[in-house]
Amino acid sequence: MKMLSAVLHQRMRPRAWWLLPAVALLLGGIGWGVYAIYQKREQRYRHQIESSLQAVNQLQLRAASDWRARRQSEAVALSQDSLFAQAVARWRAAGSPDGEVLLRERLRILVEQQRYTAAYLVDAQGRLLLDSEGVATGGLPGPEQEALQRALAQAQPEIVELHRDPSFAFPVLGLLAPLFDGSTPLGAVWLVIDARTALFPLLETWPDHSSTTESVLVQREGDAVVTLSPLRLRSEEREPLRLPLAEGGRDPMALAAEGVRGAFYASDYRGQDVLAVASAAPDAPWLLVSKIDVAEAFTDAQRREWLMLSLFVSLGLLSLGSAVVFWQWRAWRRERALKGELERNLRWLENAQKAASVGYFLYDAGDEAFIMSRMASTIFGLPADGRMTLRQWVSMLHPDERAQTLQIHGRAMAQRTLLRTQYRIRRAGDAQERWIEVWGEYSQASDAEPLLMTGTVQDITERKQTEEQLTRYRTALEAQVRLDPLTQVANRLALDEAVTHEWSRALREGAALALLMIDVDHFKAYNDYYGHVAGDQCLQRVTVALSSVLGRAGDLLARYGGEEFAVLLPGADAPSALSVALRLEEAVRALALEHRGSECCGNVTVSMGVASLQPAQYAGGDGQARAGVDAAQALFQQADAALYTAKQTGRNRVVLYGADCMAALHPSEWAPLTPARFQ
């Protein structure tokens, strides 16, 4: 026995010496592999954080740029409003109270409906003339005065960038929309915007509730960078932060001003290391800098990765120690654990398939048969034996989609490409119609082996039903957007779309198109006398009366704005349109709504302008008609001129457009509105 022990001892010694370097090498390999995995995961997470911050920065920049472009477009539209400019010219020349009221009403619309903080009418020297409340005094501040001179010289609106002015208690962005009477400058409309309520909230949209995220608009001024929007993390925000570029160091705002774009790492004004993204606003001197503290962005991820790393190392050491000391016993235990884990995973997989209605399958092209999981069999309504023949599958395909589905599968099989498709089946057993989604991949080990497809099948019937409900809801919502909420008739958007459609159709068919512009007489006096609630009820009753007259398919009644309505009459010539207008007038008169504030009669009445023309006569010089509402400009101008004549000649009447109507609307520079002017 001693000799046997000695022999065994001699044989085990070299084996023990050989085992130590192997264990050390294995431990080193595991450590290196775990560290490489950690580095790769950390790099991936860092890239995700940078991409997310860039996405937020681009969304905020697009929102701010769109807001700026929209305001510029509104200023351009105001400058190009010749009717408004002519009204300003007449008021400046005559100083009539009625003219002042009209101008103040337009300024009030800019403030209340287009959400400007203030709107002033100024003369060419920068003196304030009017605002929405009445006569204004004073003059433009220095930056606005310079912008006014540029706007008048270039005949286009000028923006006064974000700045602080002693006249206002908030950051201001101003626009100067120049006005001209022909080539004579009249002055401009000064539009004032409170950036706190209009622009800065666009920079506060973040997908999470991080405590260190911050976006700020900055602008370079000489050798310094200045913040335009408030800094959320700055403890005392009294004045804009101004950083000299020479002293800015690694501050992200200074780096952005020096031309750095995209994602980068820096140290902000608080001395914190941050991940920042800088982008430049198109057609503007603004730079948008979005940032988050590095500590907050990556600390949690590093903690999780180190915990995972320590867990891997501990498990590795435990496994190796157990393998050395209890090799055979450990192998047996591990086999039992793996079997138990496999059983649990199979149960979890089965439960997950049931919860998600997902099953897996294998298709053997040689046997023309499917081998399926229990859930896949349930989806197809088959017994749980796990087999389905090709003939059974084809018979369950919906007849309307059978040929297309077979074609998609055949093409994927012939080209060995990935398969992803959705189709309907009539389930075996209960004949229910179900939607399924199939993901599959074809493979073939060799030419001698049969072609196989492995994949998953999911019951998506509920998802399809939800998509259909969302589609119906979206359609209903789009229809609601085109209704005026007070009168429940078409609004200005629906009218513009209808005019575009009917103009194109009349142009193709050579038909006439008529438009009626309707104004409730002295409605402001009605509101002042009876109150706004009664005024709303009056508009609703007038709408019902007008709608009762229009019974022809295609006729459209729309609320044009305030107390004005419009009626579009496709195919109606001037006599037909005039006949409809007279019936509409009589329908409103029949309401017998008392109106003690009216200057023309004791009941609510309407004034109407009627215009009818042939769109084919208003094509461009090359024979091509213009598109959209712009093509129907002549129709709107004629109806508006007729309405103006009706109001000027005593109201409570219908006027058909004629040459005298346009002459009355524009007496100083009238020219006949004929098809030749649109060539």
The stretch 599-627 carries a mean pLDDT of 78
- Confidence band, pLDDT 50/70/90 cuts, at residue 323: low
Shared-domain flag, residues 451 and 499: no
Kindly tell me if the per-residue pLDDT of 543 is higher than 90.
Answer: yes
Is there a contact between 139 and 128 (Cβ–Cβ < 8 Å)? yes
Kindly tell me if the per-residue pLDDT of 619 is higher than 80.
Answer: no
Q: In what order do the strands lie in the sheet with 172-181?
A: 128-131, 118-123, 184-194, 172-181, 158-163
Q: Percent of the chain, pLDDT > 70?
A: 83
The stretch 275-292 carries a mean pLDDT of 89
φ, ψ dihedrals at 358, nearest 5°: -120, 130
Write down the pLDDT at residue 195.
85
282 part of a folded domain: no
Shared-domain flag, residues 551 and 513: yes
Compute the distance between CA of residue 374 and CA of residue 371 in angstroms, rounded to an integer: 10
Write down the pLDDT at residue 162.
85
pTM, to two decimals: 0.43
Write down the pLDDT at residue 671.
46
Shared-domain flag, residues 535 and 666: yes
Compute the distance between CA of residue 332 and CA of residue 530 in angstroms, rounded to an integer: 95
Please tell me what DSSP assigns to residue 380. T
Compute the distance between CA of residue 87 and CA of residue 76 in angstroms, rounded to an integer: 18
Compute the distance between CA of residue 289 and CA of residue 228 in angstroms, rounded to an integer: 11
262 part of a folded domain: no
Kindly tell me if the per-residue pLDDT of 306 is higher than 80.
Answer: no
List CB contacts of 651: < 8 A, sequence separation 6 or more: 521, 522, 599, 600, 605, 607
Is there a contact between 679 and 616 (Cβ–Cβ < 8 Å)? no
160 part of a folded domain: yes
In whole angstroms, how far apart are CA 179 and each of 78, 109, 143, 184? 8, 18, 19, 9
Kindly tell me if the per-residue pLDDT of 188 is higher than 70.
Answer: yes
3-state helix, strand, coil in the chain (%, to 5): 50, 25, 25
Determine which of 6-15, 196-205, 381-390, 537-546 has the lowest per-residue pLDDT on average.
6-15
Across the chain, what does the average pLDDT equal? Answer: 83
Instruction: Write out pLDDT tens, residues 67-108.
Output: 889 999 999 999 998 888 898 989 988 888 888 888 889 999
Is there a contact between 221 and 228 (Cβ–Cβ < 8 Å)? no
Instruction: Write out pLDDT tens, residues 345-399.
Output: 766 666 666 666 688 888 888 888 898 888 888 888 888 777 888 888 999 999 9
- Confidence band, pLDDT 50/70/90 cuts, at residue 248: low
Kindly tell me if the per-residue pLDDT of 12 is higher than 60.
Answer: no
Considering 49-53, 165-169, 544-548, the range whose residues carry the highest mean pLDDT is 544-548
Determine which of 130-144, 219-233, 469-483, 657-671 has the lowest per-residue pLDDT on average.
657-671
Shared-domain flag, residues 524 and 639: yes
109 part of a folded domain: yes
Joined together, the tokens standing for residue 106 give 């337009």
Is there a contact between 42 and 275 (Cβ–Cβ < 8 Å)? no
The stretch 602-613 carries a mean pLDDT of 94
Inter-helix orientation angle 82-94/97-112, to 10°: 140
Kindly tell me if the per-residue pLDDT of 54 is higher than 70.
Answer: yes
Joined together, the tokens standing for residue 352 give 């997950």
13 part of a folded domain: no
Instruction: Write out pLDDT tens, residues 196-207.
Output: 888 888 888 777
Write down the pLDDT at residue 355.
60
Write down the pLDDT at residue 196.
85
Write down the pLDDT at residue 52.
85
* pLDDT top residue among 480 and 382: 382
Give the domain CATH number at 603.
3.30.70.270
Compute the distance between CA of residue 645 and CA of residue 460 in angstroms, rounded to an integer: 64
Write down the pLDDT at residue 3.
34
Sign, Cα dihedral of 258, 263, 264, 269: positive
The stretch 107-123 carries a mean pLDDT of 90
Last residue of a domain, one of 435, 465, 495: 465
Considering 298-302, 380-384, 506-510, the range whose residues carry the highest mean pLDDT is 506-510
The stretch 501-529 carries a mean pLDDT of 93
The stretch 306-314 carries a mean pLDDT of 64
Compute the distance between CA of residue 208 and CA of residue 649 in angstroms, rounded to an integer: 62
Instruction: Write out pLDDT tens, residues 434-449.
Output: 998 998 888 877 777 8
How buried is 2 (Cβ within 10 angstroms: 0-12 exposed, 13-18 middle, 19+ buried)? exposed
Shared-domain flag, residues 494 and 592: yes
Write down the pLDDT at residue 353.
61
Residue type at 485 in one-letter notation: P
Compute the distance between CA of residue 381 and CA of residue 396 in angstroms, rounded to an integer: 10
User: In 424-483, which ranges are continuous DSSP H helix?
Assistant: 461-481
Determine which of 346-350, 429-433, 462-466 has the lowest per-residue pLDDT on average.
346-350
Task: Residue count of the chain, please give it.
Answer: 679
Write down the pLDDT at residue 412.
87
Write down the pLDDT at residue 676.
46
List CB contacts of 254: < 8 A, sequence separation 6 or more: 225, 243, 245, 248
Write down the pLDDT at residue 662.
72
Shared-domain flag, residues 441 and 490: no
Is there a contact between 639 and 609 (Cβ–Cβ < 8 Å)? yes
Shared-domain flag, residues 502 and 631: yes
Is there a contact between 436 and 385 (Cβ–Cβ < 8 Å)? no
Write down the pLDDT at residue 665.
63
Write down the pLDDT at residue 579.
94
Shared-domain flag, residues 488 and 614: yes
What's the gap between Cα 424 and its chain centre? 34
Inter-helix orientation angle 294-325/327-356, to 10°: 140
List CB contacts of 104: < 8 A, sequence separation 6 or more: 130, 131, 132, 133, 134
Domain range spanning residue 138?
Answer: 80-198
Shared-domain flag, residues 88 and 138: yes
Write down the pLDDT at residue 120.
93
Compute the distance between CA of residue 121 and CA of residue 40 in angstroms, rounded to an integer: 63
Q: Percent of the chain, pLDDT > 90?
A: 30
Shared-domain flag, residues 496 and 609: yes
567 part of a folded domain: yes
Last residue of a domain, one of 175, 198, 221: 198
In whole angstroms, how far apart are CA 671 and each of 612, 626, 661, 664? 19, 21, 11, 11
Last residue of a domain, one of 153, 174, 198: 198
User: In 264-389, which ranges are continuous DSSP H helix?
Assistant: 294-325, 327-356, 374-379
337 part of a folded domain: no
Write down the pLDDT at residue 581.
94
Shared-domain flag, residues 453 and 497: no
Q: How many domains does the chain divide into? A: 3
Spell out a b/e string for 599-612, using b for 16 or more CB atoms within 10 Å of the CB, else e.
Answer: eeeebbbbbbbbbb
List CB contacts of 374: < 8 A, sequence separation 6 or more: 350, 353, 359, 384, 386
Please tell me what DSSP assigns to residue 39. H
What's the gap between Cα 495 and its chain centre? 23
Inter-helix orientation angle 294-325/2-79, to 10°: 160
The stretch 612-628 carries a mean pLDDT of 67
Give the domain CATH number at 125.
3.30.450.20
Shared-domain flag, residues 635 and 587: yes
513 part of a folded domain: yes
User: In 80-141, which ranges are continuous DSSP H helix?
Assistant: 82-94, 97-112
Instruction: Write out pLDDT tens, residues 119-172.
Output: 999 998 999 989 988 888 888 998 889 999 999 999 899 999 888 877 777 888
The stretch 649-669 carries a mean pLDDT of 78
Compute the distance between CA of residue 279 and CA of residue 418 in angstroms, rounded to an integer: 39
Write down the pLDDT at residue 24.
72
Residue linked to tokens 């010539």: 573
Write down the pLDDT at residue 1.
37
Concatenate the DSSP letters of all residues of 574-640 into one string.
Answer: HHHHHHHHHHHHHHHHHH--B-TT-SS-SB--EEEEEEEE-GGGG--TTSPPPPSGGGGHHHHHHHH
Write down the pLDDT at residue 539.
94
